[in-house]
Chains A and B, each alone.
Chain A
């Protein structure tokens, strides 16, 4: 019974690389070290699969599905290629090649998660480090608008609050932990200090902290629901820390203010670097959403929302982003790779996917696969196919192939190569 060690989990941006997976008769039977979600992913990866290539719900040969996909993409005037954050980098590279070939738009799911983070970082830059450095050095950790207990389950123990490192051998007791959220999540029990900020009040609170760090007083009793004394004390604690890290999530990017919230956070971190060492790291959700941004940037110069309709890449979030393109009714065909926008985008955008010819590449059935014209099953990256993914801190990690995919099922990159060949024919 082969036991694979140091297996990388292809679920969230933590890319935990210490899993032990036991495979028996080409079936995963045991997962060690995985969180609840990771264990579910490995143990159930063979369930609810797309069993055959489909056109209009009817099983067809792979060649036929590829031909139909190529035909749809070639004849479209404004094709959209979207998803990409839950597949490996080779597939992302192929998707961009295809977008250029058909003069389409290529966007990834960052546009609905940390897109605003990227916008802010492009404006102001970033102070960052690896998760290993946080583990080894950080004595003050702040989780702002994120809940790792639900979405990045092992983050706390492997990389941050509870992790034991070189200069933090005491683990949790060597660190002061702060959580900021609009509601009292379970992070309240983890943190030494929990700040409940009013919905939409993050920018204001970040700005107040900046003011105090810069030496100004606050002539109000509270800011966005947080008492003045608490803000003064936290600012002082931040300045006096040896090494501080702010992890932040969609509580900042998907709320009122969006990229401006992140700009305020970057500004706070920049101000704190006059006093100590401070970094800011986004909690990237899908395991390779950071890779989707990285590969798109290598190949086009831009991280997402890239339009090739003029033959060269142009970048404009708000215009070439999936939600906008679909809700405006502009996209007239879509190729969705490793994503389920029909279940997650606002209804009007999701509805457009059902109106136009949509092609899906996915190992599993999804809302999107069930409304699509063409569905092509693919191998699950990190389980049935190898490849590279980027961790939330920008570290590339090699995913392992543990077993063979179902017969006739190819990895995303290979299916995309076949579509490219067919388009060029």
Chain B
């Protein structure tokens, strides 16, 4: 089962706190390696709080942990800015310099494996 949502990215206070401890800190990684879903959406794809989900857009995909909250309405999802989120976005800026990272259509389903670690993301980035 897969759902389509409108994906929003952004900063959070927790991401800020973690980033200032350090990008390699546990707290930073916990603070950005997740997606916020409405419990009804989570139920539709059969995942609970703390499950791994696969998020994909036309431009890429990523695996992150799932957090549930009524603060996000069904049909939308929020993912904090960071190295897990940046795999989802088109570098096309339409002549403005800025890519579209808010309001992007994304598909979400239960993931097969766990989300990659920061080291794994790094390894992949290095190629």
| Of A319, A323, A366, the contact of B91 (CB 8 Å cutoff) | A323
Cβ contact within 8 Å between A354 and B126: yes
B20 with A323: CB separation less than 8 A: no
Among A69-77, A252-260, A387-395, A405-413, the stretch that binds chain B is: A252-260
Q: Is there a chain B Cβ closer than 8 Å to A348's Cβ?
A: yes
Complex contact A367–B25 (CB within 8 A) = no
Q: Which residues of A contact B82 (CB under 8 A)?
A: 343-344
Query: Could you tell me the distance in whole angstroms from the C-beta of B104 to the nearest C-beta in chain A?
Result: 9
- Complex Cα–Cα for A334 and B21 (A): 25
CA distance A200 to B91 in the complex (A): 18
**What 6 A-B pairs come out closest when comparing CB atoms?**
A48-B22, A321-B97, A318-B95, A327-B91, A37-B16, A199-B103
A-B contact pairs, 19 of them (CB 8 A): A36-B16, A44-B20, A48-B22, A48-B24, A48-B25, A111-B97, A182-B8, A183-B73, A199-B6, A199-B76, A254-B9, A304-B97, A318-B97, A322-B97, A345-B86, A345-B91, A347-B60, A348-B91, A349-B91
> B interface vs A, CB < 8 Å?
6, 8-13, 16-18, 20-25, 59-60, 71-73, 76, 78, 81-83, 86-87, 89-103, 118, 121-122, 125-127
A255 to B94, CA, bound (A): 12
Closest to A185 in B: B71
A424, CB-defined interface residue at 8 Å: no
B interface majority secondary structure: loop
Partner of B21, one of A44, A111, A149, A326: A44
Contacts of B12 in A (CB 8 A): 150-151
Q: Chain A residues in contact with chain B, CB under 8 A?
A: 11, 35-37, 40-41, 44-45, 47-48, 107, 111-113, 115-116, 119, 147, 149-151, 153, 182-186, 199-200, 250-251, 253-256, 258-259, 285, 304-305, 317-319, 321-324, 326-327, 340, 342-351, 354-355, 364-367, 370-371
Q: Given the complex, which residues of B lie within 8 Å of A41, measured CB to CB?
A: 20
CB-based contact B10/A250 at 8 Å: yes
Task: Tell me the nearest residue of chain A to B27, going by C-beta.
Answer: A40
What separation, in Å, do the CA atoms of A177 and B16 have in the docked complex? 25
- Of B11, B18, B81, chain A has the most CB atoms within 10 Å of the CB of B11
A355–B97 CB distance below 8 A: no
Please tell me if the beta carbons of B98 and A111 are within 8 angstroms of each other in the complex: yes
Check B76–A351 contact: CB distance below 8 A. no
Nearest-Cβ distance from residue B75 to partner chain A, whole angstroms: 10
Count A/B pairs, Cβ under 8 Å.
Answer: 177
How distant is the Cα of A365 from the Cα of B83 in the complex, in angstroms? 14
Q: Contact between A150 and B13 (Cβ–Cβ < 8 Å)?
A: yes
Least distance between B78 CB and chain A CB atoms (Å)? 7
Minimal beta-carbon separation of A327 from chain B (angstroms):
4
Roughly how many angstroms separate A401 CA and B17 CA in the complex, as a whole number?
Answer: 22
Known: A40-B21, A44-B20, A342-B83. A318 touches B91 (CB 8 A): no
Known: A11-B16, A354-B125. A255 touches B83 (CB 8 A): no
- Does the CB pair A365–B91 fall under 8 Å? no
Contact of A323 among B78, B81, B93, B126 (CB under 8 A): B93
* Residues on the A chain within 8 Å of B102, using CB: 182, 199, 250-251, 254-255
Contacts of B94 in A (CB 8 A): 258, 318
Contacts known (A150-B11, A255-B103, A340-B23); A317 close to B95, Cβ less than 8 A: yes
Asked whether, in the complex, the Cβ of A367 is within 8 Å of the Cβ of B23, the reply is: yes
Cα distance A345–B102 in the bound complex, in angstroms: 13
A367 touching B125, Cβ below 8 Å: yes
- Could you tell me if B86 and A40 are in contact, using CB atoms closer than 8 angstroms? no
The residue of chain A having its C-beta at the shortest distance from the C-beta of B95 within the complex is A318
**In the complex, what residue of chain B is closest to A149 when comparing beta carbons?**
B13
Contact partner, A346, options B17, B59, B73, B118, Cβ 8 Å: B59
Residues of B within 8 A of A327 (CB): 91-92
